[in-house]
Amino acid sequence: MTEQYSNTAILKKFTDFLESGSYRKTPERFTILEKILLLPHTFTIEQLNDEMEKESYHVSRATVYNTVELLIAAGILRKLFLDGVQMKYERITKVSYTYLVCSSCGKIKEVKDYDLSAYMNARTYNAFHSDHFSMCVYGVCNSCARKQKKRNTVNVKQKIQNRK
């Protein structure tokens, strides 16, 4: 099963959406979409702007936000509220992701869980038609756990020395 839609299919879907809604098909909108397709699965507007600036392609922040909103309306992107602080966006794929969010450092790791996706896509709810799901699991990443363990070890050693 392919988890990604082809870039050609995404470009066609966006073109069809713009035409059906009588939106202008500007080069900026398509350049923004092309940059999004090069970014990781989830990204922030800041990451998108940085990618645009790297290639000296400057567009206003308003154009970026408006294009992202059009891509959401077209069913190409969706908004994510993973860490409660910064808005992230993800490309819509055939597989839903589970996000592991570190409560200590805020790092977010994406995990593909095909069994969970199959289970959730097969679920039905009374008086509700779901089209996707997003799951966040909160905890502490290995890096932060090691740092915390090291801090605890140092604190215990200090307490022992203070008792002597």
Instruction: Count Cβ atoms below 10 Å from residue 65 Cβ, excluding itself.
Output: 12
Domains of the chain in start order, with CATH, are 1-93 (1.10.10.10), 95-164 (3.30.1490.190)
Given a cut of 70, whether residue 2 has pLDDT beyond it is no
CA distances from 148 to 104, 119, 123, 151, 152 (A): 10, 36, 39, 5, 6
In the block, residue with structure tokens 């756990």: 145
158 vs 22, more confident: 22
CB 100 within 8 A of CB 113: no
106-142 pLDDT, tens digit per residue, is 888 888 888 888 888 888 888 888 777 778 888 999 9
Predicted pLDDT of residue 145: 92
